[in-house]
A and B are shown apart, each in its own frame.
Chain A
Amino acid sequence: MSNQPSMAEYVESAQAILCELLRLLEFNDATLESSVEDGQIFFQIVTAEAGRLIGRTSQTLDAIQFLLNRLLSRQYEVSPYCVVDAEQYRARRREKLLADTAAALERVRLNGRPWRMQPLNAMERRLIHQALRDCPDVRTHSEDEDSDGRKRVVISLVETPAEPEPEEMADAQPAEENPRTPETPESI
C-alpha cells in the first residue's frame, strides 16, 4: 500500500504505451491530451485521420483502449482504467444512446411491449442498464448473443400481477392515466 504509484506515474506510463501504439498504427500527426477524473485516465487524441482512428462503430478506438488497459495492467498490480477518445466521440455516442434509451422507454410505457435496443457492446449496454436503474416501472436485461455474437438490451415493463392485461392495447390512448405507470418521471 505504501509504495503505490502516484496518479501522475500511471498517466505517464499509460501515455507512453498509447504514444507507441499510435506511432505503430501510423497516426504520425497525432497529439494527446490527458486528464484524470474519478480515478480514471482520459486521453483525447487529435489527428487528421480521426475517421480511421475511431473505425466502424468505434471498433478501432475500442481496440486501442482495450489493449492499452491490458498492457498497463501488466505493469502494475492495480492500475486505473483508461478511456481513449477522439473528436469527443465517446461523449457524442453517450448522448445518442441516452436519447435512444429515452425514446425506447417512452415507447415501452405507451404500448406495454418489450423493446429490443440495437446490438451494443458491453460498455454501451452498461450505460443503458445504469440509465434505467432508477425507473421502477421498467426492467432491463441483456439478451443472449445472436449468431453474430452481438447482444441487445431489452427494456420491458415490470409485471404487475394485480392488473389484468387489457385485451387491445394497440389503439389505447397514450400516457394519460396509464394504470401501469403510476409515476412518470420525465427524465431518465
Chain B
Amino acid sequence: MKELVEYVVRQLIDHPDELRLTEIEGARTVVYELRCHPEDVGKVIGKNGKTVGALRTLLSSVASKQNRRAMLEIVE
C-alpha cells in the first residue's frame, strides 16, 4: 500500500526528493503520514481534495482485501 501511495504521489509533485511517507501500523489499521514540499501540498490534495480522495479510495480497496483499514493523512 505504501508503494501505491508513493507511485502516485511521486509523479504528481515537483520535489519528489522531499517526499516522506511514514507508516504507522496498528492491529487492524494502518496510517500513512505524508510530508512533502509546501509547494506540492496542493498538488497532492487536488481540487476540492479530489486527488487525495481518490488515493484514499484506492487505499481502502487494497486494505479491504486484507481485512484492514488504511488512512492517509497529509501533515503540514
Interface residues of chain A, those whose CB is within 8 Å of chain B, are 20-21, 24-26, 52-53, 55, 59-60, 62-64, 66-67, 70-71, 74
Contacts and interface: CB of A to CB of B under 8 A. Distances in A.
A63 B57 contact: yes
B62 A26 contact: yes
| Listed residue (A26, A59, A63, A66) with the most chain B CB atoms within 10 angstroms of its CB | A63
Interface string B55-67: 1011001101100
A67 B65 contact: no
B3 A24 contact: yes
A55 B57 CA distance: 9
Interface stretch (B7-15, B17-25, B31-39): B7-15
Could you tell me the dominant secondary structure of chain A's interface residues? Answer: helix
Interface residues of B, number: 18
Given A70-B46, A74-B11, 10 more contacts: A24-B4, A24-B7, A25-B58, A52-B61, A52-B65, A55-B61, A63-B53, A63-B58, A66-B51, A71-B12
Contacts of A59: 57
B51 to A, nearest CB: 6
Contact of B54 (A25, A26, A66): A66
Interface of B: 3-4, 7-8, 11-12, 46, 50-51, 53-55, 57-58, 61-62, 64-65
Nearest to B50: A66
Contacts of A20: 7
A94 B63 CA distance: 29
A61 B37 CA distance: 29
Given A20-B7, A24-B7, A66-B54, A60 B12 contact: no
Contacts of B11: 71, 74
12 contacts: A24-B3, A25-B61, A26-B65, A55-B57, A59-B57, A60-B58, A62-B54, A63-B53, A63-B54, A63-B58, A70-B51, A71-B8
A24 B65 CA distance: 12
Contacts of B53: 63
A74 B64 contact: no
A62 B46 CA distance: 15
Contacts of A25: 4, 58, 61-62
